[in-house]
A = this chain, B = another copy of it.
């Protein structure tokens, strides 16, 4: 692409660094900003510059936070005896959006993957033990990706906390709601059959939120 302006070229190059944004999309965004009012562009730049400077990570659960302890950990209305272990901030947002969970989180910031050089030291595990003890946590819910790395991480954490009086569960795996059986992958479908549930069990699970 040939630009007659260095200023536009630089702005396009910066936008094209964002994930999923190519040069054409970047140009579209830049021309959109060009048409916007000065104060709106300033607000746009300000929002994420401010975010980058002021964002903190919760000392408890390692989720992103506006203060030292995040809103979830600080909320008295939430069940402090449940801990949901997730890989990233994105997973917290996904689970919060379901409105089906009212406990706390623990964000690992990654997943065990020896090939990528990610061992237990690289994950936010140092305060997990003390959190479980302090909050008198009764249940730890593993909400990790159903991959080899996810399973390994869940296994590692379960083993580490073996001596504590805590129940470890994992989110249900099976065919997706509204999905079509014939398009479900073989592994998921196979495991769904092996790990089948009594229908009353499923009904009662569905009834609870």
Write out, one digit per residue, whether chain A residues 7-22 have a CB within 8 A of any chain B CB (1) or not (0).
Answer: 1101101110111110
A155 within 8 Å of B (CB atoms): no
The CA of A5 and the CA of B67, in the complex, are separated in Å by: 9
Write out the residue numbers on chain B whose beta carbons fall within 8 Å of the beta carbon of A59.
none
A136 within 8 Å of B (CB atoms): no
Write out the residue numbers on chain B whose beta carbons fall within 8 Å of the beta carbon of A18.
29, 32-33
Write out the residue numbers on chain B whose beta carbons fall within 8 Å of the beta carbon of A33.
18, 48, 51-52
A92 within 8 Å of B (CB atoms): yes
Q: Which of B5, B11, B15 contacts A65 (CB 8 A)?
A: B5
Q: Is the CB of A47 within 8 A of B93?
A: no
Write out the residue numbers on chain B whose beta carbons fall within 8 Å of the beta carbon of A115.
none
Write out, one digit per residue, whether chain A residues 28-69 have a CB within 8 A of any chain B CB (1) or not (0).
Answer: 111111101010011111011111111100000001111000
Query: How many of A's residues come within 8 Å of B, CB to CB?
Result: 58
Q: Is the interface of A mostly helix, strand, loop or mixed?
A: helix
Q: Which of B45, B55, B99 contacts A34 (CB 8 A)?
A: B55
A97 within 8 Å of B (CB atoms): yes
* Known contacts A44-B14, A45-B48; is-contact A4 B65 (Cβ 8 Å): yes
A27 within 8 Å of B (CB atoms): yes
Closest chain-B Cβ to A59's Cβ sits at a distance in Å of: 14
Q: Is the CB of A4 within 8 A of B55?
A: no
* Known contacts A29-B18, A48-B45; is-contact A7 B55 (Cβ 8 Å): yes
Closest chain-B Cβ to A98's Cβ sits at a distance in Å of: 9
Closest chain-B Cβ to A56's Cβ sits at a distance in Å of: 9
A118 within 8 Å of B (CB atoms): no
A-B residue pairs in contact (CB < 8 Å), sample of 12: A2-B93, A7-B50, A7-B51, A14-B43, A14-B44, A30-B51, A31-B90, A33-B48, A33-B51, A33-B52, A34-B64, A45-B48
Cβ-closest 6 pairs across A and B: A2-B96, A14-B47, A7-B51, A11-B48, A45-B45, A11-B51
